[in-house]
Chains A and B, each alone.
Chain A
Amino acid sequence: MVDAQKLTEAERDALREIANIGAGHAATALSQMTGRKIMIDVPEVSVKRLEEAAEQMGPADTIVAAVLMHMMGDLTGRTLLVLPEASARSLCGILLRNSEPGPGFSEMQKSTIMETGNILCSAYLNALSDFMGMMLVPSVPALVADLASAVLTTAYLNFGHSRDHVICVDTAFRIAGSDDKVSGQFILMPDVASLTAIFDAIHLVK
């Protein structure tokens, strides 16, 4: 089994590459949904203690909307779409063509965010599935809008197999050249056991 804390540079590169493919497809889907140009950053691979991971979205009490889905099939893990509150609201504004000021999200907005998460994470997984020749099945999505640290810690802790470290492949994205300020992150959290399967599938030479 791969030791998550001792990933080689080649292994990190491989994870960055698959994240780039996945996030690229998700960004294309988002672009088609919104009619806007989407920029994605270079994916970042991190193996962090759970306690550090809680603060990766900025201050612990930032409000975020997060859509979590299980990844099942040949690989297991989870995918998470995280949007800061203002971005989630802007995105709803674009997709629903109306703006509701909040605080909080209406049922219609929640449904919109959850469906967006579903579409983007499915696009992400589809791309990985095609690239690696694997069967990947997403679960139904679940949405939580709450304090960032509470959301992330729970997402990592409640469903992951490791209670100490979490492997995250983060890709930040944003809508480019527009007044609508939307930015967020796709996070892929493969279970440690699935890392080996990923590296084997892409014939990574050790």
Chain B
Amino acid sequence: MTDVAPRVTVRVSESIVTEAPATLVAIALGSCVAIVLHDPATRIGGMAHVLLPSQSMGRIAAPGRYAQTAVPALIERMIARGARVPSIVARLVGGASMFMTLTPPGTIQMGERNVLAAREALHRHGIRLVGEAVGGDFGRTAEFDLDSGVVTISSYLRGIQRL
């Protein structure tokens, strides 16, 4: 079993690529999005904990910080380890909109923008999106098992969901 497999926390702005047996965890995603890529054939996978849609919105340079740059950065490192693009699949978790009542009407919340940017980046790089647990007004913790590719999502008072 995976009892001894390393369990790595992917903190905000980080992007980590590794292979089974391992579990990658993004704790407490609010408007942040966890972009999870997995190649079932080689069981190589990666996770990015992105804060913003694109690099144009921040001055700090870290590929894992922005949806637009995180996707190619993950793909590149997965390929370097031996993954093949046609078999890579993606899952997205997070992008919640909290404190909704304080948002000016008509504006798009950062969570939503992060999800849109992540979907667009995946599409641009030809990665198939196979599962999403996004939106809503609550936080999520995502655990990605690189062996099975399954992402387990837990939320405060909302139980467990599997993608």
> Which of A63, A146, A152, A158 is the one whose CB lies under 8 Å from B110?
A158
Residue A150, interface by CB 8 Å: yes
| Residue of A139, A142, A147, A164 most packed against chain B (CB within 10 A) | A147
B interface: dominant SS = loop
Q: Give residues of chain B (79-110) contacting chain A, Cβ–Cβ below 8 Å.
A: 96-103, 109-110
Is B156 touching A145 in the complex (CB atoms < 8 A)? yes
Provide the residues of chain B in CB contact with A150, threshold 8 Å.
Answer: 28-32, 96, 98, 138-140
Find out whether the CB atom of B52 lies under 8 angstroms from the CB atom of A163.
Answer: yes
Interface membership of chain A positions 67-89, coded 1 if the CB is closer than 8 angstroms to chain B and 0 otherwise: 01110000000000000000000
Does A148 belong to the interface (CB within 8 Å)? yes
Complex Cα spacing A146 to B156, Å? 6
Which residues from 44 to 67 on chain B have a C-beta closer than 8 Å to any C-beta of chain A? 51-52, 57-60, 65
Cβ of B77 under 8 Å from chain A: no
Size of the A side of the interface (Cβ < 8 Å), in residues, is 33
Distance, CA A155 to CA B102, complexed state (A):
10
23 pairs of residues in contact across A and B, judged by CB atoms under 8 Å: A49-B60, A54-B28, A60-B28, A61-B141, A63-B156, A104-B156, A104-B157, A146-B139, A147-B28, A147-B156, A150-B31, A150-B98, A150-B138, A151-B139, A153-B12, A153-B51, A154-B98, A155-B99, A157-B31, A158-B31, A158-B103, A164-B58, A164-B59
Which of B12, B29, B32, B102 touches A142 (beta carbons < 8 Å)?
B102
Beyond A50-B51, A140-B101, A163-B52, whether A147 also contacts B58 by CB under 8 A is no
Known: A51-B11, A163-B52. A158 touches B109 (CB 8 A): yes
Q: Which of A51, A59, A146, A151 contacts B13 (CB 8 A)?
A: A51
Number of residues of chain B lying within 8 A (CB) of chain A: 35
Determine whether the beta carbon of B58 is less than 8 Å from that of A163.
yes
In order of increasing CB-CB distance, the 3 nearest A-B pairs are A150-B139, A150-B30, A149-B28
18 A-B pairs besides A154-B96, A158-B98 with CB distance below 8 A are A51-B13, A61-B27, A61-B28, A68-B102, A139-B102, A142-B102, A146-B138, A149-B139, A150-B29, A150-B138, A150-B140, A152-B30, A153-B51, A154-B99, A154-B110, A158-B97, A158-B109, A158-B111
Shortest beta-carbon distance from A118 to chain B in Å: 13
CB atoms of A147 and B12 under 8 A apart: no
